[in-house]
Amino acid sequence: IGMMPQRPVDELPRGERAKPSHEIGLGTPLQRFFSVRNRKFWDFTVHPRTYFNRKWQGKDLGYASLFLAIHLGALAAPFYFTWQAFWCFVVGYIATGMFGITLSYHRQLAHLSFKTPKWLEYIFAYCGALALQSHPINWVSSHRHHHSGTETEDDVHSPLDGFW
């Protein structure tokens, strides 16, 4: 009688809760040192597993092979340079990168920044598909999901994750 029951720990105000001190380490000490995701969350230090220190899936091997092939092929570029090929690259970049991805997929479809006649919208979206970044619905969906979690752990395009 006269004793107040003690409140459960999960009902204590945030400032009164005891914070355990733990270090969660994944990867080698050198990987943890260079990890850009070393963040301090209260008393927890989180060192995420690096890209190479995990089980690779089939698609990872495909991406790594393509990445390697493109960069090895680039070493041969100076020996096969022609101005005709250079201007083909410039036109292709303008069509796919500038009109297709930046103008169409990103500004027009994902952010609904402006409208064009349907025939022009379809041409720009086709240029985006030529950039090999998936079809418009998938790209827009992924980009909108990215903006819903920007600068959080839910960011699907976080610069802190990924192969490079």
**pLDDT score, position 59:** 82
Q: Is residue 69 part of a domain?
A: no
Rg (CA), the chain: 24
How many structural domains is the chain composed of? 2
DSSP character at residue 52: T
Query: Quick one: 145 and 98 in the same domain?
Result: yes
Tell whether 91 and 42 lie within a shared domain.
no
- For position 41, what pLDDT does the model report? 44
Q: Are 44 and 90 in a shared domain?
A: no
Note down the domain range covering 141: 85-149
Q: How far apart are the first and last CA of the chain?
A: 64
Residue 108 lies in a domain: yes
Domain-embedded: residue 2: no
Taking the model in full, what pTM does it have? 0.54
Q: What letters, b where the CB count within 10 A reaches 16 and e where it falls short, cover 107-129?
A: ebbbeeeeeeeeeeeebbbebbb
Residue 53: inside a domain: no
pLDDT tens-place string over residues 8-66: 555 666 666 666 555 555 556 665 555 555 444 445 555 555 666 667 778 888 888 99
143 lies in the same domain as 94 = yes
Domain-embedded: residue 103 = yes
Is there a single domain that holds both residue 44 and residue 89?
no
Q: Higher-confidence residue: 90 or 154?
A: 90
Q: What are all long-range contacts of 22-25, with beta carbons under 8 Å and residues at least 24 apart?
A: none
Those residues with Cβ within 8 angstroms of residue 130's Cβ, 6 or more apart along the chain or in another chain? 95, 96, 100
Q: Are residues 96 and 43 in the same domain?
A: no
